[in-house]
Amino acid sequence: MIPDIPQGEFQPNPELDLATKPSSKSPEPTRNPLAVVVLISGSGSNLQALIDGQQGGDLPIVIRAVISNVPDVRGLERAEAAGISTAVLNHRLFDDRAAFDTALMALIDSFDPALVVLAGFMRILTPDFVRHYLGRLLNIHPSLLPKYQGLHTHARALAAGDSEHGATVHFVTEELDGGPPILQARVPVLPDDDDDRLAARVLKQEHKIYPEAVRWFASGRLCLDPDKRARLDGKLLTAPVSLPPNC
């Protein structure tokens, strides 16, 4: 488990500007496990990291359901093996994105989660969906945001000749991969790296930082404030908490 990082050890990132507008609620500190729904589209390796944390007692959460927009993916098997309810809502069966998101919101809300976690959920969400869960919707992105929003992040980092790459946990807002970043992990880009080798090293770090950010949220330490800025222990995160390379 990543140790608690006290205020004052945040590494600054002057590229980030978190000033925005809407409002949200933060979870009240509670001794009861936080109800979580996880959305996936594939293998669910980040889901497995959350399941392991829940089962090991490191995460004060209960995953009430895992929902996939793609049938028969490995992530559903992981959830079922852990005794977690699963559901498939195939986006291909809907006329448009708005209709799918409306049905998805109804399905999620039937489990009454306090937090919705996107773990490799490969859908662009509508503004209505994001507003519905604003302040309780987390995502992990395989780049050091704000760099490389969108797809093909590893190839783009290699093409740019970057010396380091990584992953970011962030609150989800209406801007694609543009919500306030919370926690980052960094890995060096090695001379013989290709997409697959770099992606594998980044993924190992994702499995560390995503459970940690969820733990902060579940324990009441992390929230999105009314100005849509991330706060940890009540203090503004002007830059994401950053783990050193190879952590």
Q: Which of 132, 141, 154, 170 is catalytic?
A: 141
Structure tokens at 82: 């852990």
Backbone angles phi, psi at 5, to 5 degrees: -105, 115
Phi-psi region of 104 (alpha: psi -120 to 50; beta: other; left: phi over 0): alpha
Q: Annotated binding site: which residue ranges?
A: 44-46, 97, 122-125, 139
Q: Annotated binding site for (6R)-10-formyltetrahydrofolate: which residue ranges?
A: 97, 122-125, 139
Structure tokens at 233: 């222990």
**Is 165 assigned a catalytic role?**
no
Active site residues: 141
